Amino acid sequence: MSAPARRPVAVVSFAQARNVRREASRNEVELLMPVVSEVFAAIGASKDDMGFICSGSTDYLVGGPFSFVTALDAVGVWPPRAESHVEMDGAFALYEAWVLMQEGAIDAALVYSFGRSSPGDVTEILALQLDPYVTAPLWPSPVALAALQAQALIDAGEATEEELAEVAARNRSAARANPNAQVVSDASPEELLADEYVVAPLRRHALPPITDGAAAIVLAAGEKAREWRERPAWITGIDHRIETHALGCRDLTRSPSTALAAERAGLFEGPPVDLAEVHAPFAHQELIVRRALELGDAVTVNPSGGALAANPVMSAGLIRIGEAAARIWAAESERAVAHATSGPCLQQNLVCVLDASDGAVVGGGA
Amino acid sequence: MSGAEAGTQPVTVLETPIHLDYVFTPGIAQSIFLRGLARGVFLGQRCPTCGKVYIPSRGSCPVDGVATDEVVELPDTGIVTTYCVVNVPFAGQAVEIPYTCAQVLLDGANISFMGLIQEVPADQVRMGMRVEAVWVPPDELGPSLASVKYFRPTGEPDALYESYEEYL
Amino acid sequence: MSDGDVLVANHVLDYPYARSVGPVLGAFFTALSEGRIVGVEGSDGAVIVPPTEYDPLTGEDVGELRDVGPGGVVTAWSWQVAPGRKHHLDHPFAWALVRLDGATTAMLHVVDAGDPGAMATGMRVTARFRPPAERRGHVLDLEAFVPEPDGGGR
Ligand SMILES: [Zn+2]
């Protein structure tokens, strides 16, 4: 099943802040401004080229109201600009920009996201995304819920604690090549298994770091994309799906929303991907997403180190798309898939298929 | 339902209080502004692209999206660009009503900010009126807008409308 | 400007939310205040606990309320090694999805098991309610689940 042909739109520029545990001095605007400058400078573009601006962030992180509005000062929105915002990871803002670009009225869009997890207690803040009547009053942290999922996977015989340590070791070792990574390590899986449990069965290494960060991407259509990037990363399909918030109604060992989004994005049509950037904040979630995306052993997964190396809330998904695209620009990949997640235990998932050729533009959620 | 049989009241409202603690930073640019207030001076920042001076600056020019790195000390004087008279009491009100709340454009600044106008009856405040800041005593200065007690008229002739119409 | 010159301040946000619960969750909280647990019939005859206003999988209307529990089976669990400041138990406990007797879906709550060695998927647990005078129509009127004697913990 494939949707009608789509307008070719590509990822042509990507920048991110260096991911850190605590950005102590700069506020959101000051954190974002150099990232936006860099994403334009890399392709010789300016804000005046952008027909649309879309961002992803949440005010709960810093506890200041309407920080997404003040963040626009980092771009400069005079004369007034067409703009939108999602209270979600920037990957979902990218989806909105892509949809708008399908209309054909604009040729370029800026997508950015930002978030500092350090000012508050991010594990408490993320509990507020849960059902407020029967779930949030228990204050389960994302770690507690992810640990339930990990135990379910272990009980189903589909993962072992050793495998979780292997995932963590591989990602953090790969992160050595990522200058923006926050946590890098050459520790072996055996060494990692000596870590204490945070919420069993998840040990320290299976958790993402707490990160302050920001990221930006420029999308461009058709000839504009070729003008800015010799080898654009064409979005041949993109889709996102959500599952019920009622955790007890889900099979936590599977990610049907990822699988459906992947199908709708055309991942299972055409040649197989050679590279994947998956947004799996907890080690066991990489195993679940790999299965849903049907990634074989030949696929390079998370050469950036993924969310285990840096997990800037609201940006880690957008960064997956940027990292995958950058490898297509560099001819290190012909066809790649990027994945972003939101909500507890992989509740909501976005799949973006990127290709060095725009001839493969077939899919896309409808 | 057994709830009624057991004599309990049906639950219609659930209280779910949320308390969150943060360590907040206003950032580099606003820290400069706030530390200026603690010394009794207004510190703005100039955009290197358009030359406009913002006070307080959030660190970027909202028109150009570039960093406003140059710190500019501004005088205590400026003009009322617009104002309103508050006649309604509300909880936590610190000033006796009626009082005047105005947008003040400091001389040399390209953006106005809010301040109280005092030492003049509310019905004599007007657009274009020249005012100056009255600071709290030196030992009460702090990194807060509370360091500016209020603005009062200087007695100079009013500014021409054309000189501030861009800032309304 | 160096980092030392940047101001920081403690900042507190308090949201004193009081939420209308509606007839379905209202019945659930009312039952908890009486030391009972209720679910609701889903569109395919499944019993959903906690009850929802609509079938979460099909979106169809739900049917009658049904009593479930107080016993049930743990379908997934994790162990909170050190309780956080917002948790209502002051000692280590298990997070668990518990499928109550008579229910089709599982609900998230905690198991006051004392030791992770007492926990296992498939074990039986039963509800421990707060004393009647302390109940207020809240999910924590059900203070915790506890292992049933010989309930299959390891
Ligand atoms: Zn400017």
pLDDT tens across the length of chain A (366 residues): 445 558 999 999 999 999 999 998 999 999 999 999 999 999 999 999 999 999 999 999 988 888 889 899 999 988 899 999 999 999 999 999 999 999 999 999 999 999 999 999 999 999 999 999 999 999 999 999 999 999 999 999 999 999 999 999 999 999 999 999 999 999 999 999 999 999 999 999 999 999 999 999 999 999 999 999 999 999 999 999 999 988 999 999 999 999 999 999 999 998 999 999 999 999 999 999 999 999 999 999 999 999 999 999 999 999 999 999 999 999 999 999 999 999 999 999 999 999 999 875 554 443
Report how far ligand 1's centroid is from the alpha carbon of B27 (Å): 19
Domain boundaries in chain B? 28-167
A198 token code pair = 């945070």
Name the phi and psi angles at B70, rounded to 5.
Answer: -80, 120
The pLDDT value given to residue A364: 44
Cross-chain Cβ contact A120/B22 below 8 Å: yes
Of C11, C16, C30, the CB nearest to B11: C30
Cross-chain Cβ contact A248/C116 below 8 Å: no
Cross-chain Cβ contact C36/B2 below 8 Å: yes
CA C75 to CA C105: how far, in whole Å?
10
Chain C hits for B28, Cβ within 8 Å = 1, 6
Of C9, C15, C33, the CB nearest to B24: C9
> Is C127 a member of any domain?
yes
Cross-chain Cβ contact A75/B65 below 8 Å: yes
Of B14, B19, B34, the CB nearest to C7: B34
**Please, which chains are in contact with A (at least 3 CB pairs closer than 8 A)?**
B, C
> Is C17 a member of any domain?
no
Q: Which long-range contacts (CB under 8 A, 24 or more apart) does A222-227 make?
A: A222/A7, A222/A8, A222/A107, A224/A107, A224/A108, A225/A8, A225/A9, A225/A10, A225/A12
> Is C4 a member of any domain?
no
A224 DSSP 8-state letter:
H
Topology of domain A9-121+210-228, per CATH?
Peroxisomal Thiolase; Chain A, domain 1 (3.40.47)
Q: Please check the confidence at residue B3 and state whether its pLDDT lies above 70.
A: no
The pLDDT value given to residue C57: 79
Q: Please check the confidence at residue C151 and state whether its pLDDT lies above 70.
A: no
Domain count, chain C: 1
| Number of helical H runs and strand E runs in chain A | 12, 12
Chain C hits for B24, Cβ within 8 Å = 8-11
> Which range marks the domain in which residue C120 is found?
23-147
Chain B hits for C33, Cβ within 8 Å = 8, 11
A364 token code pair = 């896309």
Q: Please check the confidence at residue B90 and state whether its pLDDT lies above 90.
A: no
The pLDDT value given to residue C154: 52
Residues B150 and B116 sit within 8 Å (Cβ to Cβ): yes
The pLDDT value given to residue C4: 60
Of A63, A123, A248, the CB nearest to C97: A248
Q: Kindly report, residue by residue over B75-89, the tens digit of the pLDDT.
A: 999 999 999 999 998
Instruction: Report the percent of chain C where pLDDT is more than 70.
Output: 95
What pTM was estimated for this model as a whole?
0.94
Residue C88, min C-alpha distance to chain A (Å): 7
Q: Does C48 touch chain A (CB under 8 A)?
A: yes
CA A255 to CA A252: how far, in whole Å?
7
The band of B93, judged by pLDDT with boundaries at 50, 70 and 90, is: confident
The band of C152, judged by pLDDT with boundaries at 50, 70 and 90, is: low
Q: Please check the confidence at residue B162 and state whether its pLDDT lies above 60.
A: yes
- DSSP letters, chain B, are -HHHHHTPPPP-EEEEEEEEEEEE---HHHHHHHHHHHHT-EEEEE-TTT--EESS--SB-TTT--B--EEEEE-SEEEEEEEEEE----TT--SPSSEEEEEEEETT-SS-EEEEE-SS-GGG--TT-EEEEEEPPGGG--SSGGGEEEEEE--PPPPPGGGTGGG-
The pLDDT value given to residue B158: 97
CA atoms A120, A121, A123, A129: torsion sign: negative
Suggest the residue from A58, A138, A158, A207 to mutate for an interface test with chain C (most C CBs closer than 10 A). A138
A152 token code pair = 């379910």
> Is C11 a member of any domain?
no
Q: Please check the confidence at residue B1 and state whether its pLDDT lies above 50.
A: no
> Is C154 a member of any domain?
no
Q: Please check the confidence at residue B6 and state whether its pLDDT lies above 60.
A: no
Pairs of CB atoms within 8 A across B/C: 95
The band of B5, judged by pLDDT with boundaries at 50, 70 and 90, is: very low
Q: What is the ipTM of this complex?
A: 0.94
Chain C hits for A251, Cβ within 8 Å = none
Q: Kindly report, residue by residue over C17-54, the tens digit of the pLDDT.
A: 999 999 999 999 999 999 999 999 998 889 999 999 99
Q: Does C90 touch chain A (CB under 8 A)?
A: no
Report how far ligand 1's centroid is from the alpha carbon of A255 (Å): 47
Mean pLDDT of the C54-67 span: 90
Residue A103: Cβ-neighbour burial (10 angstroms; 0-12, 13-18, 19+): exposed
Q: Kindly report, residue by residue over C83-110, the tens digit of the pLDDT.
A: 999 999 999 999 999 999 999 999 999 9
Pairing of strands B148-153, B99-106: unpaired
Residue A172, min C-alpha distance to chain B (Å): 29
CA C62 to CA A24: how far, in whole Å?
50
The pLDDT value given to residue A366: 39
Mean pLDDT (chain A, rounded)? 94
Report how far ligand 1's centroid is from the alpha carbon of A153 (Å): 54
